[in-house]
Chain A
Amino acid sequence: KERRRGRGRYGGRKCGRGHKGERQRGNRPRLGFEGGQTPFYLAIPKYGFNEGHSLRRQYQPLSLQRLQYLIDLGRVDPTQPIDLTQLTNARGVTVQPLKRDYGVQLVEEGADIFSAKVNIEVQRASELAIATIEKNGGVVTTSFYDPRSLEILCKPVVFFLRGQPIPKRMLPPEDLVRYYTDARNRGYLADPSKVAEARLELAKKYGYVLPDITKDELFKMLSARKDPRQIFFGLAPGWIVNMADKKILKPTDERLLKYYSS
């Protein structure tokens, strides 16, 4: 038996609105209303699941598999120190400083297939990831970037076009100082001798022979590290980069020099 048609645009007859009542008359109550009974979303007690979510730090994960993929495709150059700027330019990771991202963290996914000698600088790294990179003869450093420096690091050209001098990178807050002064995390504020000890300990723990990087031909590149107040390799705080004229302006006033070198 055929279905009776209402005809007309929008279906005709009742136009898909149902029969009488609030539905047809367009007077349905707001979403979540349950006829006066305490609605479900109000009957549940409050609990601090999302409390302080906008103050919690987030770190975008970077797996070793992804890093190996980028190096193999040639998007990231292992002969130069790998920085967050290099990763962002290669579109390997996308960091959003405005969403409380404080940088990138190394994740162990792909540790067994990783085989690249790199000098990498991230914001957090897990123990196994550090061990894998050092086993292949690389160097890992964890450093802190405050949100403003992180934004500049991720989008350097946009910052240079603003015409402002490169700011000093701020030191980590209280709760992170302990993390970045620990040699086991390869923090940038840790003692270099303790870092060397920690490398040996990690080699013993995971059972591999630690390759001697001092005898490597890329040793100079592998040992290149940034100053705690520096954002870019090769550029110091206080300098202005002129993109149009391809020039760098450095401050000469002694008060400015004193401020930027402190």
Chain B
Amino acid sequence: MRAAGMPSLISKAPGSTDRWSVLLSPRWCPFQARRHQHLPDSLRTARGLTSLLPSILQQPARTLTYCSLRNGKRKTVKAVVDRFLRLHNGLWVRRKAGYKKKLWKKSAAQKKRLRELVLCTRTQCKLLDKMTTSFWKRRNWYVDDPYQKYHDRTNLRV
């Protein structure tokens, strides 16, 4: 018999009904979980779900849903919407990785380069277009949009 208030980091065998005190199981989840995978059926039957640490249960699901269960529609990957901006001409804008990390060791020129907004390559744009639905590709007429003039290409020679 384990002590009543001792959480274990090793995941328990499914079907076990040991109960840990709720106070000891952490409530936070270390992952930026957008959607959680459903619990396996064997664990669902156990009422004492606090026996496993939530961090192991809640894993982010990064798949692209081509046909959703409820509506049969394609779903957007929210990770892409959080990080990128789609211009109406098809280009995607992004930040440079590391623009706010360890700035003390970076030179001024390097910091300036990292602060700039950058466009994505053709393959990257195609990938991001596949991960988002047509809602994110519509033309938007925001008030005082800083990117308003970039939605259209000018003097483009093919």
Binding site for B on A (CB under 8 A): 30-33, 39-47, 49-50, 53, 56-61, 99, 105, 124
Question: Is B77's CB under 8 angstroms from A32's CB?
Answer: yes
For B137, the chain A residues whose CB sits under 8 A away are none
Kindly report which residue of chain A lies nearest to residue B117, judged by CB atoms. Answer: A47
Contact B77 A41 (CB under 8 A): yes
Is B79's CB within 8 Å of the partner chain A?
Answer: yes
B30 to chain A, nearest CB (A): 15
- Number of B residues near A (Cβ < 8 Å) is 29
Q: Which of B81, B95, B100, B140 contacts A44 (CB 8 A)?
A: B95
The answer to whether A32 and B64 have CB atoms under 8 Å apart is yes
Report the nearest B residue to A57, measured CB to CB.
B143
B80 within 8 A of A: yes
B152–chain A nearest beta-carbon distance, Å: 12
- Report yes or no: A30 in contact with B141, Cβ–Cβ below 8 A: no
What chain A residues lie within 8 Å of B136 (beta carbons)? 50
Neighbour of A40 across the interface among B124, B140, B143, CB < 8 A: B124
- CB-CB nearest in chain A for B101: A45
Contacts of B128 in A (CB 8 A): 41
Question: Inter-chain contact count A-B, CB under 8 Å?
Answer: 67
Q: Does B28 contact A (CB under 8 A)?
A: no
The residue from A31, A45, A46 contacting B131, defined by CB atoms under 8 A apart: A31
Collect the chain B residues with CB atoms within 8 Å of residue A43's CB: 97
CA distance A49 to B138 in the complex (A): 15
Q: Which residues of chain A are near B130, meaning CB under 8 Å?
A: 31
* Nearest CB in chain A: distance from B90 CB, A: 16
Shortest distance from the beta carbon of A111 to any chain B beta carbon, whole Å: 19
- Closest B residue by C-beta to A42: B79
Whether B142 lies near A49 (C-beta < 8 A) is no
Q: What CA separation (Å) do A30 and B79 show in the bound complex?
A: 14
B80/A41 in contact, CB under 8 A? yes
- With contacts A30-B62, A32-B64 taken as known, whether A41 is within 8 angstroms of B142 at the C-beta atoms is no
Q: A41-B131, A105-B141 are in contact. Are A31 and B64 (CB under 8 A)?
A: yes
List of B residues within 8 angstroms of A105 by Cβ: 141
Instruction: Give A255 to B75 CA distance when docked, in angstroms.
Output: 49
Q: Decide if B124 touches A57 in the complex (CB within 8 Å).
A: no
Residues in B121-154 with C-beta less than 8 Å from chain A: 124, 127-128, 130-131, 136, 138, 140-143
B119 interface residue, CB < 8 Å from A? no
**Which B residues are CB-close (under 8 A) to A56?**
142-143
Inter-chain contacts of B43 with A (CB < 8 A): none
- Contact between A46 and B82 (Cβ–Cβ < 8 Å)? yes
Q: Which residue from B64, B82, B131, B142 sits with its C-beta under 8 Å from A57?
A: B142
Report the minimum CB–CB distance from B140 to chain A (whole Å): 6
Partner of A30 from B64, B81, B84, B93 at Cβ < 8 Å = B64
B26 CB, min distance to chain A CBs, angstroms: 24
Nearest opposing residue in chain B for A30, CB measure:
B63
Most buried by B among A33, A50, A57: A50
Question: Residue B57 at the A interface, CB < 8 A?
Answer: no
B84 near A59 with CB under 8 A, answer: no
